[in-house]
Structure 1
Amino acid sequence: MMSMSLPSPCSPLSEFLPSPSLSNHPVFFNNTRKLCCHKFSSLKLVFIPAASLSTTKSYPTETTVLNSPSFGNKEQRLYPKEGEEHKGLPMKEEEQESLDFDEKASEFQVLALLNAVKALPCKERVDHIVRVLDKEIGFLNISDFNDVLMALVTANESDLVLKLYSGLSCYSLEPNSWTFTIMVRCHCKKKDPGEAKRVLDQMMQKGFNPNVATLTTLINSFCKMGQLQNALQVFEVMDRIGCKPNIQTYNCLLKGMCYVGRIEEAFELMEDIKKTTVEPDIYTYTAMMDGFCKVGRSDEAMELLNEAMEMGLAPNVVTFNTLLDGYAKEGRPLKGFGVLKLMKQRKCMPDYISYSTLLHGLLLWGKVLAGLRIFNEMEGSGLEADERLMNSLVRGLCRKSIKENDLVEVAYEVFEKMKKRGFVIEQSTYALVIQALWVAKKVDDAFINLHQMVRLGYIPRLITINNVIRALCVGGKVDEAFYVLVLMYENSKIPSRMSYDLLIHELNRQERTLGACNVYGAALVRGVVPHKKPRR
Structure 2
Amino acid sequence: MSSVCPAPSSLHQSPVQSPLLNCPLFFPNRYRSHCKKTTRGKLVVFATLSLSSTNPTENADICSIDFINRRDGAVRREVPHLINENGNQVVDGITSRFQVQDLVSTIRALPSKEKTEFLSKCLEDREIRSLSAFNRLLMALFIADEPDVSSKLFYSMASYGFEPDSWTFSIVSRCHCKTNNLDEARRVLDYMVEEKGFQPDVETITMLINGFCRKGGLQRAFEVFDFMSKISCKPTIQTYNCLLKGLCYVGRVEEAFDMLIKIKEENLKPDVYTYTAVMDGFCKVGRSDEAMELLNEAVEMGLTPSVVSYNTLFHGYCKEGRPLKCIGILRQMKQRNCMPDYIGYSTLLHGFLKWGKIRSALRTYKEMVRDGFEVDERLMNTLLRGLCRISWKEKDLLEDAYQVFEKMKKGFYAIHPGTYGLMILALCTGEKIEKALDNLNDMISMGHLPQTITFNSIIRTLCAGGRVNEALLILVLMVEGRRIPDRISYDLLIAEHNRRKWLLGACSIYGAALKRGVIPNRKPRGEIYMWNS
TM-score, normalised to structure 1, is 0.77
SS at match of 1:406: helix
- The more displaced of 441-450 and 233-242 is 441-450
Cα distance in 1 between the residues matched to 2:310 and 2:340: 9
Q: Which residue of 2 aligns with 1:384?
A: 374
Contact residue 387 and residue 424 of structure 1 kept, 8 A: yes
Q: Is the 8 A contact 1:454 1:460 kept in 2?
A: yes
In 1, are the aligned partners of 2:486 and 2:518 still within 8 Å (CA)? no
Partner of 1:86: none
Partner of 1:195: 184
Note the alpha carbon deviations across 1:262-310, whole angstroms, 9 max, x for none. Answer: 1111111111111113111222111111111111111111111222222
* Matched-pair contact (CA < 8 Å) for 1:92–1:102: no
Alignment match, 1:67: 43
Native 8 Å contact 1:19 1:136 kept in 2: no
Specify the alignment match of 1:46 in structure 2.
none
Alpha-carbon shift at residue 340 of structure 1 (Å): 1.4
C-alpha distance in 1, partners of 2:475/2:146? Answer: 59
SS in 2 for 1:69: strand
In the alignment, the residues of structure 2 paired with residue 486 and residue 425 of structure 1 have an alpha-carbon distance, to the nearest angstrom, of 22
How do 1:123-522 and structure 2 match up within 5 A? 125-134=111-120, 138=124, 139-204=128-193, 205-475=195-465, 476=467, 478-479=469-470, 482=473, 485-486=476-477, 489-490=480-481, 493-496=483-486, 498-499=488-489
The CA distance in 1 between the partners of 2:112 and 2:357, in whole Å, is 54
- In the superposition, relative to structure 1, how do residues 521 and 157 fare at CA in structure 2: closer, same or farther (>3 Å)? farther
> Size of the alignment, in residue pairs?
476
Give 1:118's match in structure 2, choosing from 94, 105, 125. Answer: 105
- Residue number in structure 2 paired with 1:11: 9
Structure 1 contact 10–170 (Cα < 8 Å) conserved = no
Answer yes or no: is the 8 Å Cα contact 2:48–2:62 preserved in 1.
Answer: no
Structure whose residues are more often strand by fraction: 2
* 2:57 paired residue number: 100
The equivalent residue for 2:52 is 91
Distance 1:254 1:174 in 2: 37
**217-226 vs 155-164, which deviates more?**
155-164
User: Cα offset for 1:136?
Assistant: 6.2
Deviation at 1:512, TM superposition (A): 12
Question: RMSD in angstroms over aligned alpha carbons?
Answer: 3.8
Structure 1 residue 247: Cα displacement: 0.8
* 1:366 aligned partner, one-letter code: G
8 A Cα contact 2:493 2:506, kept in partner: no
Counterpart amino acid of 2:197? G
CA contact (8 A) 2:272 2:298 kept: yes
**Shift, 1:143, TM fit:** 3.0
Secondary structure at the counterpart of residue 179 of structure 1:
helix
Does the CA-based 8 Å contact 1:395-1:433 persist in structure 2? yes
CA contact (8 A) 1:362 1:371 kept: yes
Identity between Structure 1 and Structure 2 (%)? 48
Normalising by the residue count of structure 2, what TM-score does the alignment of the two structures yield? 0.77
Unaligned runs of 5+ in 1: 1-7, 34-63, 71-75, 79-88
Q: Structure 1 residues 485, 174: CA separation in 2 closer, same or farther (over 3 Å shift)?
A: farther
Note if contact 2:135-2:168 (Cα within 8 Å) is conserved in structure 1.
Answer: yes
Unaligned runs of 5+ in 2: 1-5, 28-34, 68-97
- Hey, what's the Cα distance between the residues in 2 that align with 1:520 and 1:206? 98
Q: Deviations over 1:189-232 (max 9, x none)?
A: 22332332222223323322211111111111111111111110
Are the counterparts in 1 of residues 123 and 160 from structure 2 also a CA contact under 8 Å?
A: no
Deviations, residues 52-99 of structure 1 (Å, cap 9, x unaligned):
xxxxxxxxxxxx9742233xxxxx465xxxxxxxxxx74332xxxx33
Q: Distance in 2 between matches of 1:369 and 1:165?
A: 62
Q: Is the 8 A contact 1:28 1:109 kept in 2?
A: no
In structure 2, distance between residues paired with 1:266 and 1:478: 71
Per the TM alignment, residue 366 of structure 1 is displaced from its structure 2 partner at its CA by 1.1
d(CA) in 1 for partners of 2:329 and 2:256? 24
d(CA) in 2 for partners of 1:24, 1:383: 48
